Amino acid sequence: MGSAARGAGGFRPPRAGRGWPAAIAVALVLCGCAASPIVPEDAARFPVRIDGRHGFIDGRGRLAIAPAWRNAGAFRGGLAPVQSPDTERWGYVDAAGALRIPAQFLAAEPFREGVAAVRTERGVGYLRPDGTWAIAARFAGGTAFSEGAALVAFERNVAGVAAVTYGFVDRRGEWVLEPGFADAGSFAEGVAPVRRMGERFGYVDRQGRTVIAPRFDRALPFGDGLAPVRADDGRWGLIDRRGEFVVPPTFVGARRFAEGLAPVLDASNRWGYVDAAGRFVIAPAFTEADPFEHGLARVTLDGRVGYVDRRGRFVWAPR
C-alpha cells in the first residue's frame, strides 16, 4: 500500500528488482458448504484485522463475520477473497461468512462484473462465482474487469529475453485491444490510461484511438469525470476529459476519484481527501488512504487500519 499512485487491483508480472514467488498448481473444486444464513448479496462488508486474524464489519462498524482468516479482500457481488491461515491459499466466502470456493489459489482478487482474477501456476485467469473458469489461466498478470474489459499482461520471448506487454480482453477472453502497451490502467468512463513504447501516458478509447494525447509522466483511470495524473515535476493533479488540469499538480500523490472524493498526499506526507475542486474535505492525517466504496474508505494511521465515512469520522477506529 505504499505507492503514491494505486490503480485498480490485480496481478502484475515481475519487473526489474521485483519477483513473484513460484506459482503453485491448483485445481478448481466447488465447495460443498453447509447452508448458511440468508444475507443480501449486496450487503456491505469491509475486511478488518482483529488479534491477527481477518473478519468483516458492516457499514456501521459492527462485526458481521468473525475473524478467522490470515488475510481478506473486499466484498463484491456477494463474495470476498480470503486467505487460509493454515495453507496460505486463497478462496472466497459469502456475506454470511460461509466458504463458497475453497482456499486453493496462490492469490485472488475481489469479483467485479461477475468474474474475479485468480493466480495459479499457469498464470492469471478469471473465475465465475460458481468456481468455474470464465477465462482459463494463461496471462502473466491481470486486473479486475471494468466496463467489460480487463487489463492483462502478455509475456513473450524476444531473442531469449522475456518481454511483457499489456492489452485488454473481454469476458470471453478475446482481445479488445491486443497487447502492445508498455503500461496501462483499467477502462473507466469509456477511456483507459496507456503508455506505448517510448511514449508518455495518455488515454485511449475501446478502439485504441487516442483521446487524450500522451503527455503525462503517470496517469490513473477516470472517476467522477476526473483522473489523477503526474506532471513532469513529479506532482499530481486532476484532469478533465479534455485532458486539461482542473486541479493543478500540487500533490505528492493521488489515487482515483470515487463517490465524489479522491485520496491525495500532501507535503506533510499525510493522506487526506479532496473534492472535485481540489479542496480538502477530510484533512490530511493518514499514512495511507484508499478510495471510497459503499460510503466508507480504508485508512491507515501509523500502521493501524480503520475506516472513515465521508465526513472523516471513524466508523472503525484504527487498530
Give the pLDDT band of residue 38 (cuts 50, 70, 90). very low
Count CB neighbours of 39 within 10 A. Answer: 16
Read off the pLDDT of each residue in 136-154 and give the average, rounded to a whole number: 97
Domain regions of the chain by residue span: 24-30+41-139, 142-216, 224-312
**What phi and psi values does residue 302 have, to the nearest 5 degrees?**
50, 50
How do residues 174-188 score in pLDDT, each as one tens digit? Answer: 999 999 999 999 999
CATH code for the structural domain at 224-312: 2.40.128.630
pLDDT of residue 160: 76
CATH topology of 24-30+41-139 equal to that of 224-312? yes
- Tell me the average pLDDT of the chain: 89
Residue 26 neighbours by CB under 8 Å, 6+ apart:
89, 104, 105, 106, 120, 121
Beginning with the edge strand found earlier in the chain, give each strand of the sheet holding 99-105 in spatial order: 71-72, 79-83, 90-94, 99-105
Q: What is the pLDDT of residues 262-319, one digit of tens each?
A: 999 999 999 999 999 999 999 999 999 999 999 999 999 999 999 999 999 999 999 9
Per CATH, the number for 24-30+41-139 is: 2.40.128
How does pLDDT run across 218-249, given as a tens digit for each residue?
999 999 999 999 999 999 999 999 999 999 99
